[in-house]
């Protein structure tokens, strides 16, 4: 029964993405209105993340901007973003981009 439900859920996600290409994870969850635990639901989104069919970049950037405004360190930002239900590939790209632009300080002995 569980496999049948998983297949149905995947089909529903597929239809949402056909109608709304490059929609965010949050929008997929809102349109789906499913009684699925977030951790279980995230597993169903991974194949669509791998295909670049879900775009969380604006949500990720909004989170980054908030945390940068609070002057949080890179490790705190990375840890916080990694616990959010966003496209993990886009989180990785955003963090790599952030590290390139991060103001590194040199220790003076």
**Do residues 44 and 75 share a domain?**
no
Confidence (pLDDT) at 44: 85
19-23, 70-74, 105-109: least confidently modelled range: 105-109
Instruction: Answer whether residue 106 is part of any domain.
Output: no
**Do residues 61 and 46 share a domain?**
no
> Is the pLDDT reported for residue 82 higher than 70?
yes
Mean pLDDT of the 5-13 span: 88
Q: What is the pTM of this model?
A: 0.75
CA-closest candidate to residue 46, choices 81, 79, 4, 88: 88
Confidence (pLDDT) at 66: 96
Mean pLDDT of the 42-71 span: 93
**Do residues 67 and 87 share a domain?**
yes
> Is the pLDDT reported for residue 95 higher than 60?
yes
**Do residues 62 and 45 share a domain?**
no
Q: Cα dihedral angle (7, 16, 18, 13), rounded to 10 degrees?
A: -20
CB-neighbour burial class of residue 90 (10 A; exposed 0-12, middle 13-18, buried 19+): buried
Residue 89 is part of which domain span? 57-101
Q: Considering its fold, how many domains does the chain have in total?
A: 2
Do 44 and 10 meet the contact criterion of CB atoms below 8 Å apart?
Answer: yes
Instruction: Answer whether residue 109 is part of any domain.
Output: no
Instruction: Answer whether residue 20 is part of any domain.
Output: yes
Instruction: Answer whether residue 78 is part of any domain.
Output: yes
> Is the pLDDT reported for residue 18 higher than 60?
yes
Mean pLDDT of the 53-75 span: 94
Instruction: Answer whether residue 107 is part of any domain.
Output: no
Confidence (pLDDT) at 3: 74
Cα(16)–Cα(14) distance, rounded to whole angstroms? 5
Instruction: Answer whether residue 108 is part of any domain.
Output: no
Mean pLDDT of the 18-47 span: 82
CB-neighbour burial class of residue 105 (10 A; exposed 0-12, middle 13-18, buried 19+): exposed
């Amino acid at each position: 029964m569980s496999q049948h439900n998983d297949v149905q859920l995947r089909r529903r996600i597929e239809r949402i993405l056909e109608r709304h290409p490059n929609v965010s994870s949050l929008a997929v969850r809102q349109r789906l209105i499913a009684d699925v635990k977030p951790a279980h639901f995230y597993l169903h989104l991974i194949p669509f993340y791998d295909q670049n069919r879900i775009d969380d970049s604006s949500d990720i950037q909004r989170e980054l901007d908030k945390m940068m405004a609070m002057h949080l360190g890179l490790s705190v930002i990375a840890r916080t973003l990694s616990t959010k239900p966003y496209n993990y590939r886009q989180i990785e790209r955003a963090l790599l981009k952030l590290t390139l632009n991060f103001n590194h300080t040199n220790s003076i002995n």
